Chain A
């Protein structure tokens, strides 16, 4: 019984229950959702699809978890992803004429191109962190500036959609290893690294502490500003990985559409994972499950034949419902239900 209670109190529980319920719904109402085929040594099916399509979102959710843990929010992830994709595409490029054969040559060696893309994305994160932590500009206003990020991405691609023809680059987004998409292994590796970073180094502890109570953390000698800065840098890096992944999947960089509308998805994933928007204690596994839940929801809606654009409405409604569930004080609600509130001398609002 005690074990059950601790389980119920864990942050991830709600997300796991929701995911299970969604999958159960699909067992009964979406035929073919669970069919898994083995073709040419690869697994195919909706479940694999959820993992594969959810990979960019999972990266962003990892970064967003750190930022939200400090009590801020990074709404620039979509733009940063498009910038990273644009940088990678610009550096790899490739020539169509030789692509007719096999692997066309890359303009710059692949590792350098990817490293450059990730470095630029991290720089964007550092810039956000600088605005938020050093200048004390609210996180939102600072990240809203990143809406101009798409302008920068277009500056890099000169307003065109850049198509790539260099095959090894596509492995990241479309390749398979031991039957599963390669990107899933990368997600697992990055998630494990992030988990160890947050649990086995003092950084995670300091982060939770500075998110829970900023001033007492400062009195305890924690450099709160630096924690926020690092969190934004990590978020930028993760958005960069997601951007490179998206570019490798669609084999092109589209400054206008890459990573569009991912901001809300990432926030949704983190919040669904049981993390409080107010900051403080956080759970990375929860965010990953949340990301899977968001993707499973998307895939389910697609498979039910609902028009693609209406998904926006679904997600927004889910955000509102989850937010209301999180912020409702059930004890107070129950007390109100059981007995009338004692009348105060005078009541001040709030």
Chain B
């Protein structure tokens, strides 16, 4: 048999192998939990995963986009804490009406994103220095507002926080529903809009994207801005979840967000990743945490170590896949000479430049 004619995987699996691995991992973890613990296998446990991680889901969308473009956002947790703090302060202490407060919070998050985008894109900062600085600014600004804990007592917020959307005998919270909507929305944006396709192109190879005439700088700037905006949205959901604000909220959340993106199939070298993959990244982490809760005797920091191990494992798997592909590409080049062998669909998909 000709060694060049290797049996190929189906197109979707080949292109998104890391995503498929993430889904399988989640299913196996959930299955493991169901086997080990009583009452684990139920729709409500799954819904609780969505409820408990609703803010992480939304924040992780932004992190995923930044990872796809080849950067990193370390500011997620701190920006959520600061937005949550400002929102709680405006509602509880200043007694502001709800709508203006929401608008201001979304603006704050977007401004943080714009700051990171500006530093990375136009000032040549390394992404994590810029976002680390942003993290410190947001964290410090929390304490400038107040060092105390603020409890939210806005009647509408409290009502929204306890509202349950019921279906099939179980329920999800408003925040979880919003998170799922955001995942769907950003999956569509990433796959079907020019901005979304540009992110993949720039992340895959910045130089070629530039030579193709894509707006590299604008795309980068907008990606970081989107991440900041999503952190602000996440902070609203976070407030619904905890109904209070302190400066230490969301500590280390950026690790969870980046880990979700990577476990969900985003390559740390950029260019590859799916927003829906991040959903499974978050769910897998949530399952680990739930299993630790069900187990009962392990401390919560085991979750941290487990997440880190999982992250490491995934980076290693990615590494192996990427090196493996680079090797097989050398042999595949022979086929690519034949123009008929090129899938015409790929050409139309690759046509970013309009």
Which of A's residues lie within 8 Å of B, judged by CB? 73, 75, 135-138, 140-141, 144-145, 147-148, 150-152, 154-155, 159, 261, 263-264, 267, 277, 307, 309-317, 319-320, 323-324, 327-328, 348-350
Contacts and interface: CB of A to CB of B under 8 A. Distances in A.
The 6 closest A-B pairs by CB, nearest first: A148-B308, A309-B143, A312-B140, A313-B140, A316-B136, A151-B304
B85 to A, nearest CB: 12
B316 interface: yes
Contact of A145 (B119, B140, B311): B311
Given A148-B308, A309-B140, A140 B134 contact: no
Contacts of A135: 315-316, 319
B136 A73 contact: no
Nearest to B115: A320
A194 B305 CA distance: 33
Nearest to B308: A148
A73 B125 CA distance: 13
A311 B123 contact: no
Interface of B, secondary structure class, is helix
B316 A320 contact: no
Nearest to A317: B137
Contact of A154 (B129, B210, B247, B301): B301
B210 A310 contact: no
A141 B315 contact: yes
B264 to A, nearest CB: 15
Interface stretch (B27-35, B97-105, B191-199, B211-219): B211-219
Contacts of B315: 135, 137, 141
Contacts, number: 124
Given A144-B255, A148-B307, A310-B144, A349 B129 contact: no
B124 interface: yes
Interface of B: 72, 119, 123-126, 128-130, 132-137, 139-144, 147, 210-211, 213, 215-217, 247, 252, 255, 258, 262, 268-269, 299, 301-302, 304-305, 307-309, 311-312, 315-316, 319
B111 to A, nearest CB: 14
Given A150-B301, A155-B301, A348-B210, 7 more contacts: A73-B128, A75-B132, A315-B136, A319-B129, A323-B133, A350-B210, A350-B217
27 contacts: A75-B128, A137-B315, A138-B269, A140-B128, A144-B311, A148-B304, A148-B308, A151-B304, A151-B308, A155-B301, A159-B301, A264-B136, A277-B126, A309-B143, A309-B147, A310-B140, A310-B144, A312-B139, A312-B143, A313-B137, A313-B141, A316-B135, A319-B133, A324-B119, A349-B216, A350-B216, A350-B217
